[in-house]
Structure 1
Amino acid sequence: MSRPQEPNRPFFHFGNPFRMIPPKSSQLSPRLLSLLNTFEATLSGRLEKLVPKDKGDILSLSWMKLAMESLSEIHCDIKNLITELDLPVTDWDEKWMDVYLDISVKLLDISNAFTSELTRLNQGHLMLQFVLHKLESDSPEQFTRASSSLDSWKQHISSKNPRVETCRPILDNLVESLNLPKVRNSSKGKVLMRAMYGAKVATTYICSVFAAAFSGSSKNLLDLTVPNTLPWAQVFSVVQTTLNVEIRNIFSCGEFTVLRELEAVDACVKKLFTLLQVGVGPSERESFKNSVSDLRTTEEKLAQGLDNLSKAIDSFFKVVLTGRDALLCNLRKAGDAAPNSMIRKNVKVQPAR
């Protein structure tokens, strides 16, 4: 997170993997081409939903929930494609399995980091519940304790989460994984690898947005370059450009937080803290009550948003985990088809709470 901003990186240092499937490939049967086209058209649609209708939606918890739900859908699409391809696990190239398993464990790790941050933010919710209880007691003595608690909340929310600090190395590894292994003798394998590329690009980029938001650093925000021959390349470019420009603009303003709902709560906290410091006299009573009411309203909206996003991340975690476990289960059934190196990767990672 302290590393300098890196320029756009080309992802084809070892050759463009899309040379293996020209846009109108004669190498694929009509059925396989139809499966690939359907997957990529669906991917375009899922990405298009992430273009915010209003700039104010960017980095709102509701938008982040939508983004995480879209990633879950994309990964379910990959699982469905594998089923449609009817590609027995014994026919999987070892490199394909290695890519799939390696990426999946990284996604489990980064999901755990995100869950850890949401847990930390929810701890702040409990602190504000305590504050509101004191403020609604209408006791000057309790007001003093509430003022101290508001200051503690501010310190808690502004502190860094070590788990989130691990996201950048994971993102770097995901970027490196975008160099796909070449597929020479399997048409089904070519379709699978190209579909997985699309899923990985979408996942890596969205995870970088989450990492930037949760870490408070735009250095975690990625700028990915994809071949413009891909059907979903244009909409991905629109999503990435729209989000990156606005997110970097938000960071440049030096706000306390870039999360929209948390920003609204912070504005209420600042107003209340000032009132409590100067004292709540008869002339300030109405303003004080309104400020307490505003804090409760924004705090409840934040809590609900955090809860919804937590559920979306948990669902994504389960989608990735079940897909990974299904492949490993099939590998075991296939006997010696699973190299020892892959079996060692079968680490049961549980969501952080």
Structure 2
Amino acid sequence: MSRPHEQHHPFFSFGNPFRMISSKGSNLSQRLFSLLNKFEETLAGRLRKLSPKDQDEVLSLSWMKLAMESLCETHNDIKTLITELELPVCDWDEKWIDVYLDISVNLLDICIAFSSEISRLNQGHLLLQCVLHNLDSTSSKQFIKARSSLDGWRQHISSKNPRVESCCTILNKLVESLDLPKVKNSVKGKVLMRAMYGAKVETVFVCSVFAAAFSGSGKKLLNINVADKYIWAQAFTGLQTSVNGEIRNVFSSERFTVLKELEAVDTSVKKLYPMIQDGVDPVKVEAFQNSVSDLARRAEGLSQGLDLLTKEVDGFFHVVLAGRDTLLGNLRESSTGSDAMLGCKVERVQTS
């Protein structure tokens, strides 16, 4: 079994793939080389864009939104590359199809888990709205209701989501799939497999960061070793080191949460709670009102950030689903001929 800390086998360990077709003309070889370079340089640029400028960016909802956008773009680039390679699905090795379909199922499951957790976090906003509504009055009865809602919010936010907990097993499967099938006779296939490796590395990294953030456990973080020969390797290593390092630092400090906007709300809750527990001192009315305003502003920021992140996770879900549906549709077309094996594969996948 492949482990996160182990060195994965270089994809092009068998030498220069373009050497195989050099006798057929350099134009084709150069074209494939350009397509691969374009994909890898674009991926490197995306990874550099994700590299946080300061520690406060790590696990902010805006950074998580950007990370999910990046995944959507990379997976769309894979679909574009398949088209540009002019590699019809009937030419795909059966092992590639198995790998692609298995990965897509795992990614769909992860998206569902993430969407579930974002929705759960957003439900806490209703409790905060109850708090703010009750604090419109300074009566002791309303303060008791506000305290109860704050207790409910902290209990709700600190509870565990079993769907997120299951992501660890799914991520381990994705790490194992980083060792792609070796391609012997198809130069285009080698280009595709190398590009898919880059897409999968970014995907596993981002999903492991999300799983760690949502679960409140640094054990979900993965360290992926990438060979230096990839154009995007240095950008990825720098990104992984800075993001994982900061997340582990936050976990070691035993904070309530590693999500920045959620932590900001919790800070306001901690400041406000003693005030409504002991009653508002007339001398401190202004400080009380400021604390209420701070909570309202931060709660709204958290809610808006979660809504935007929901859209990006849903978008990634549909990108993965669309790619899977396209492949299955092409397999159906292939199976209308004499290839009964592919027809059986489509039927088996649809019933699983």
User: TM-score, length-normalised on structure 1?
Assistant: 0.93
Q: Does 1:232 align with 2:236?
A: no
2-side partners of 1:305 and 1:337: how far apart? 47
Within the candidate set 5, 8, 19, 1:8 is matched to: 5
2-side partners of 1:137 and 1:339: how far apart? 68
Q: Does 1:19 align with 2:19?
A: no
Aligned residues: 339
Instruction: Tell me the equivalent position of 1:259.
Output: 259
Letter in 2 for 1:338: L
Q: Does 1:72 align with 2:72?
A: yes
CA separation of 1:251 and 1:192: change in aligned 2, threshold 3 A: same
Gapped runs of 5+ residues in structure 2? 22-28
Measure how far apart 1:206 and its partner are. Answer: 0.8
CA separation of 1:325 and 1:20: change in aligned 2, threshold 3 A: farther
> Are the aligned partners of 1:75 and 1:199 in contact in 2 as well (CA < 8 Å)?
yes
Letter in 2 for 1:133: H
Gapped runs of 5+ residues in structure 1? 1-5, 349-353
Measure how far apart 1:343 and its partner are. Answer: 3.5
Instruction: Tell me the equivalent position of 1:270.
Output: 270
* 1:64-102 CA distance string (max 9 Å, x none): 000000000000000000111111111110001111111
Instruction: Tell me the equivalent position of 2:25.
Output: none
Letter in 1 for 2:330: N
CA separation of 1:73 and 1:254: change in aligned 2, threshold 3 A: same
2-side partners of 1:346 and 1:74: how far apart? 26
2-side partners of 1:260 and 1:166: how far apart? 24
Identity of aligned residues (%): 62
Runs in 1 of length 4+ with deviation above 4 angstroms? none
1-side partners of 2:304 and 2:231: how far apart? 36
| 2:223 alignment partner, SS class | coil
Listed as ranges, the matches of 1:195-206 within 5 Å are: 195-206=195-206
Instruction: Tell me the equivalent position of 1:345.
Output: 349
| 1:304 alignment partner, SS class | helix
- Of Structure 1 and Structure 2, the greater helix share is in 2
Instruction: Tell me the equivalent position of 1:100.
Output: 100
2-side partners of 1:66 and 1:226: how far apart? 22
Instruction: Tell me the equivalent position of 2:121.
Output: 121
CA separation of 1:221 and 1:213: change in aligned 2, threshold 3 A: same
Instruction: Tell me the equivalent position of 1:192.
Output: 192
Letter in 2 for 1:344: R
2-side partners of 1:21 and 1:275: how far apart? 69
Letter in 1 for 2:11: P
2-side partners of 1:246 and 1:281: how far apart? 40
1-side partners of 2:51 and 2:306: how far apart? 21
Q: Does 1:284 align with 2:288?
A: no
* 1:153-187 CA distance string (max 9 Å, x none): 00000000001001000010000001110101111
